[in-house]
């Protein structure tokens, strides 16, 4: 198999094709500290893309609770179990990727979920770890012993997609212009090898069309310089979508590059699987480190620490202020004094966001009305 | 890469010889028997004339060259008969399959069978690769699909066919004009031939190497399959001579080869996970 360089695992790895990075790479950052699982993103996606026949069960965007929520059922624990225990330490990844662990006669290590695995898309919603009642009223303690968090997911538009590698007839392709991964609906023959191969389970089989379908990265919007529907619909402003470079090409004025490569506050999901996924997560601060490590890599604690001190890094704070601020993609940004400005690819200004909300202090006694004010906040 | 296959030149020479004489076929070659002119494609799997055609047992093996593979496919042999009327060539394929698999959902795959023919005149010294042909020597592959057969008999699949208790208020596309609704129909709207049945449950295709299988713009093949008592009987027919770039051109008296493949849907066989045969020499009776 050809060797390709995967910067997320810090080494060369086997892949089914020669490495060919796109001119630009679609990317997204999601702040897991801010997601409330309102599913507005899910519905924005659903109504835009998957209201057709055979797509009834499909959620190209979903939000699940962790550690006990899954869609489809057990997608992450099942592939991790198949991959087996692997060493996850700082430095180059010493374990196997799903390409390197492919069984004889297979293109990647994977499994095909069963139909029933998709029947409860919000299973495990809000389930937290541990017991409340059985463990003697732990709810009385601070901080809480129990934890959970929400994990919004779309296709990762991976640099080395397993869906693309798994398809024996090249029906899956990665666009050279923006790195978006698509399934050619004229060429697909419904073998479901992509459904089996993708560890994130983001290709879905349409049983009425008899082809597999997946998140299209809202490519018509992206082509027009706009962010995806799930991003602009997010009421919690937890997402920023744009383009990301490799670490050696990182541009300080690209908000995604700054967040991921320079501040290093966001991490890919299950980088050890070897796909170089391009959705990056700011890890939830309250979740134990041992859990975050298996999910976001060995050095995830550093990301949490950076996030805790985000207010000290004006450039980081500025990039975070762009979340949910525009429909358009901010290709460039600049922090000037107390304002962050976002720009299009051509350098046109699209947004100015104040870094601090103005605060007004009202006098206790209102001279005009000759009345005392009571604090009702 | 040039294919050096397992078809012995002696067997092919015998086939060519027999084609001219109308003699019964040897064990390792398929005699395409001449039937009355004007009969056309024999699209009845149980037609009486099949009783007169000489059967040939063709051994199938696991496809193990192109990943992914299924090392132990369910079907290890099929019985092939073939006839022609001077204009139409029809194959009858029969194999054991305890389960009829003609409904497709995430968990279920459909039964399929295929007949492959070289596009160019067969040259025993330079045979095409029986596994999808190659760039210099493309092949025609006629693939019959049980699911398309089911569609033809029972109509296109609907959600309740797969999920009997599902309820849908409406689909967005139903509220729109057809040209606007196309965006909501995916592969069906694009006319993907595996999505909906055309005139026939067989796909007339060409290939020039692994991963290149493509449905031809002109569909010339016809087919029909019947499942009964634990076996499928499928007939697949095509005109012997058509002008398509990737259509084979055959005439009475010709010798050529054919290869066969079977997918047992009940065992999740699909795509490259299949049982296939090497080239089988065949001779068209004069």
CA of B52 vs chain A CAs: smallest distance (Å): 37
Mean pLDDT, residues B76-98 taken together? 98
The whole-angstrom distance between A166's CA and the closest CA on chain B is 8
Q: Tell me, yes or no, if A272 comes closer than 8 A to chain B by beta carbon.
A: no
N- to C-terminal Cα distance for chain B?
34
pLDDT of amino acid B177? 87
Residue A38 neighbours by CB under 8 Å, 6+ apart: A235, A236
Contact state of A205 with B105 under an 8 Å Cβ cutoff: yes
Q: Does any domain span residue B13?
A: no
Number of H helices, E strands in chain A: 10, 17
- Residue among A56, A106, A113 minimizing CB distance to B159: A56
Please give the pLDDT value at position B113: 98
* Chain B contact set for A54 (CB, 8 A): 159, 186
Of the candidates B158, B159, B194, which has its C-beta nearest A189's C-beta? B194
Mutate to test the interface with A, among B65, B68, B105 (most CBs of A within 10 A): B68
- Give the range of the structural domain holding residue A286, as residue numbers without chain letter: 3-290
> Half-sphere exposure of B88 toward its Cβ, with a 13 Å CA cutoff?
19
Q: How many CB atoms lie within 10 A of CB A229?
A: 20
Nearest in space to A30 (alpha carbons), one of A278, A348, A345? A278
Return the CATH number at A161.
Answer: 3.30.70.20
Structure token pair of residue B168: 């849908």
Q: What is the pLDDT of residue B5?
A: 47
pLDDT tens, residue by residue, A248-306: 999 999 999 999 999 999 999 999 999 999 999 999 999 999 999 999 999 999 999 99
Q: How far is A115 from chain B (nearest CA, A)?
A: 6
Size of interface A-B (CB pairs under 8 A): 110
How confident is the model at residue B153, as a pLDDT? 93
Higher pLDDT, B197 or A31: A31
> Is the minimum CB–CB distance between A56 and chain B shorter than 8 Å?
yes
Buried b (16+ CB within 10 A) or exposed e, A123-136: bbbeeeeeeeeeee
Q: Could A53 and B185 be called an inter-chain contact, meaning their C-beta atoms sit closer than 8 Å?
A: yes
- Categorize the per-residue pLDDT at B222 as very low, low, confident or very high, splitting at 50, 70 and 90: very high
Is some CB atom of chain B closer than 8 A to the CB atom of A103?
no
Domain assignment present for residue A158? The answer is yes
Residue A140's pLDDT is 59
Inter-CA distances, B205 with A124, A307, B91, Å? 47, 56, 16
Question: Does residue A254 fall inside a structural domain?
Answer: yes
Q: Indicate whether A299 belongs to any domain.
A: no
| Cα nearest neighbour of B190 on chain A | A186
DSSP letter for each residue of A124-164: TTT--SS-STTTT-GGGSSS-S---EEEEE-----SS-HHH
Choose from B187, B210, B271 for mutation: most chain A CBs within 10 A. B187
Question: Tokens 């212009």 belong to which residue?
Answer: A177
The answer to whether residue B266 is domain-embedded is: yes
Q: Which residues of chain A have pLDDT under 70?
A: 131-144, 376-377
**How high is the pLDDT of residue A112?**
98
Q: pLDDT class for B184, splitting at 50, 70, 90? A: confident
Q: Specify the long-range contacts of residues A269-272, CB closer than 8 Å, at least 24 apart.
A: A269/A153, A269/A156, A269/A200, A269/A295, A269/A296, A270/A76, A270/A80, A270/A199, A270/A200, A270/A295, A271/A8, A271/A9, A271/A93, A271/A296, A271/A297, A272/A9, A272/A83, A272/A86, A272/A88, A272/A93, A272/A95, A272/A97, A272/A297
3-state secondary structure of B24: coil
Q: Is residue B20 part of a domain?
A: no
Q: Is A113 on the interface with B (CB under 8 A)?
A: yes
Q: In total, how many domains does chain A have?
A: 1
In this complex, is the C-beta atom of A210 within 8 Å of any C-beta atom belonging to chain B? yes
Maximum Cα interatomic distance, chain B, rounded to a whole number of Å: 66
Q: Inter-chain contact A52–B171, Cβ cutoff 8 Å?
A: yes
Q: Which of A248, A266, A269, A359 is nearest to A320 (CA)?
A: A266
pLDDT at A373: 87
Nearest CB partner across the interface for A185, out of B147, B168, B190: B190
Q: How far from the centroid of its chain's Cα atoms is residue A238's Cα?
A: 10
Distances B171 to A155, A204, B188 between C-alpha atoms, Å: 24, 19, 15
Cβ-Cβ contacts under 8 Å, B66 against chain A: 168
How far apart, in whole angstroms, are the C-alpha atoms of residue B238 and residue B106?
Answer: 32
Does A173 lie at the interface with B, CB-CB under 8 angstroms?
no
pTM of the model: 0.92
* A215 within some domain: yes
pLDDT at B178 (0 to 100): 80
CA triplet A330, A336, A341: central angle to 5 degrees? 20
Q: Using one digit for the tens of pLDDT, what is the confidence trace for B241-268? A: 999 999 999 999 999 999 999 999 999 9
Residues A207, B162: C-beta atoms closer than 8 Å: yes
How far does A105 lie from chain B, in Å, by closest CA? Answer: 5
CATH classification at residue B144: 2.60.40.1190
On whether residue B44 sits in a domain, the answer given is yes
Task: Using CB atoms, pick whichever of B68, B159, B270 lies closest to residue A105.
Answer: B68
Give the model's confidence band at B199: pLDDT under 50 very low, under 70 low, under 90 confident, else very high.
confident
Q: Is residue A301 part of a domain?
A: no
Judge: A106–B272 Cβ closer than 8 Å, yes or no.
no
Q: How far apart are CA B87 and CA B44, in angstroms?
A: 17
Contacts B191 to A, Cβ<8 Å: 186
Residue B4 pLDDT grade (very low, low, confident, very high; cuts 50, 70, 90): very low
pLDDT at B236 over 70: yes
* Interface residues of chain B, partner chain A, Cβ below 8 Å: 64, 66-71, 104-107, 147, 157-159, 162, 166, 168, 171-173, 184-188, 190-192, 194-195, 210-213, 270-272
Asked if B104's CB is within 8 angstroms of A210's CB, the reply is yes
Chain B closest-CA separation from residue A189 CA (Å): 6
Judged by CB atoms closer than 8 Å, whether chains meet at B171 and A193 is answered as no
Q: What is the mean pLDDT of residues B167-192?
A: 87
A362 in contact with B, Cβ within 8 Å: no
Range(s) of the domain holding residue B118: 28-156+197-284
Place of tokens 């450039």: A315
Q: In chain B, how many domains are there? A: 1
CA dihedral for A19, A23, A26, A31, sign (positive or negative): positive
CB proximity A169 to B under 8 Å: yes
Question: What is the percentage of chain B residues whose pLDDT exceeds 90?
Answer: 77
> Is residue B273 assigned to a domain?
yes
> A209 to chain B: nearest residue by CA?
B195
Can you give the pLDDT at residue A132? 59
pLDDT of residue B12: 47
Partner residue opposite A207 with nearest CB, options B106, B210, B211: B106
Please give the residue that has the higher pLDDT: either B10 or B101.
B101
Residue A28: its H or E element: strand A26-31
């Amino acid at each position: 198999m050809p060797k390709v360089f995967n910067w997320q695992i810090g080494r060369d790895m086997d892949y089914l094709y020669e490495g060919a990075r796109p001119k630009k790479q679609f990317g997204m950052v999601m702040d897991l500290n801010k997601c409330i699982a309102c599913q507005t993103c899910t519905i924005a996606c659903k109504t835009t893309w998957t209201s057709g026949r055979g797509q009834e069960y499909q959620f190209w965007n979903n939000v699940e609770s962790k550690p006990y929520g899954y869609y489809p059922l057990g997608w992450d624990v099942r592939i991790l179990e198949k991959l087996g225990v692997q060493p996850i330490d700082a430095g180059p990844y010493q374990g196997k990727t799903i390409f390197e662990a492919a069984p004889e006669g297979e293109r990647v290590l994977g499994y095909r979920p069963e139909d029933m695995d998709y029947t409860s898309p919000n299973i495990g919603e809000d389930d937290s770890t541990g017991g409340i009642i059985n463990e003697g009223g732990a709810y009385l303690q601070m901080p809480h012993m129990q934890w959970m968090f929400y994990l919004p997911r779309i296709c990762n538009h991976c640099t080395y997609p397993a869906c693309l590698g798994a398809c024996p007839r090249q029906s899956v392709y990665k666009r050279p212009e923006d790195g978006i991964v698509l399934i050619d609906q004229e060429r697909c023959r419904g073998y479901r090898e992509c459904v089996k191969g993708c560890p994130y389970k983001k290709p879905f089989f349409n049983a009425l069309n008899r082809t597999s379908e997946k998140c299209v990265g809202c490519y018509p919007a992206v082509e027009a310089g706009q962010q995806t529907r799930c991003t602009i619909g997010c009421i919690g402003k937890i997402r920023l979508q744009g383009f990301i470079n490799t670490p050696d090409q990182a541009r300080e004025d690209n908000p995604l590059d700054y967040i991921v490569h320079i501040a290093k506050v966001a991490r890919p999901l299950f980088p050890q699987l070897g796909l170089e996924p391009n959705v990056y997560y700011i890890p939830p601060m309250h979740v134990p480190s041992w859990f975050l490590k298996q999910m976001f890599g060995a050095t995830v604690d550093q990301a949490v620490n950076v996030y805790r001190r985000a207010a000290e890094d004006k450039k980081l704070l500025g990039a975070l202020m762009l979340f949910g601020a525009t429909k358009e993609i901010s290709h460039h940004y600049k922090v000037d004094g107390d304002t962050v400005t976002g720009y299009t690819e051509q350098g046109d200004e699209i947004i100015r966001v104040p870094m601090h909300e103005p605060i007004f202090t009202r006098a206790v006694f209102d001279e005009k009305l000759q009345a005392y004010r009571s604090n009702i906040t | 890469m040039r294919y050096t296959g397992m078809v012995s030149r002696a067997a092919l020479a015998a086939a060519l010889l027999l084609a001219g004489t109308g003699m019964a076929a040897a064990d390792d070659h398929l005699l395409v028997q001449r039937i009355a002119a004007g009969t056309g494609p024999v699209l009845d799997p149980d037609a009486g004339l099949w009783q007169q055609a000489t059967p040939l047992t063709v051994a199938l093996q696991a496809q193990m060259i192109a990943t992914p593979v299924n090392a132990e496919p369910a079907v290890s042999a099929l019985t092939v008969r073939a006839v022609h009327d001077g204009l139409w060539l029809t194959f009858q394929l029969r194999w054991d399959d305890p389960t009829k698999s003609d409904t497709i959902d995430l968990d279920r795959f459909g039964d399929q069978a295929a007949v492959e023919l070289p596009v160019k005149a067969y040259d025993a010294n330079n045979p095409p690769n029986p596994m999808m042909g190659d760039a210099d020597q493309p092949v025609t592959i006629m693939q019959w699909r049980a699911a398309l057969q089911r569609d033809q008999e029972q109509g296109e699949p609907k959600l309740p066919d797969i999920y009997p208790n599902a309820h849908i208020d409406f689909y967005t596309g139903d509220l729109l004009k057809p040209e606007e609704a196309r965006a909501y129909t995916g592969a069906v709207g694009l006319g993907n031939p595996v999505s909906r049945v055309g005139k026939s449950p067989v796909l007339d295709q060409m290939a020039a190497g692994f991963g290149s299988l493509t449905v031809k713009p002109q569909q010339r093949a016809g087919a029909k399959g019947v499942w009964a008592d634990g076996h499928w009987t499928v007939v697949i027919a095509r005109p012997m001579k058509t002008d398509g770039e990737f259509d084979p051109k055959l005439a009475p008296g010709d010798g050529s080869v054919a290869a066969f493949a079977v997918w047992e849907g009940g065992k999740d066989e699909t795509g490259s996970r299949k049982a296939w045969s090497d080239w089988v020499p065949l001779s068209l009776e004069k």
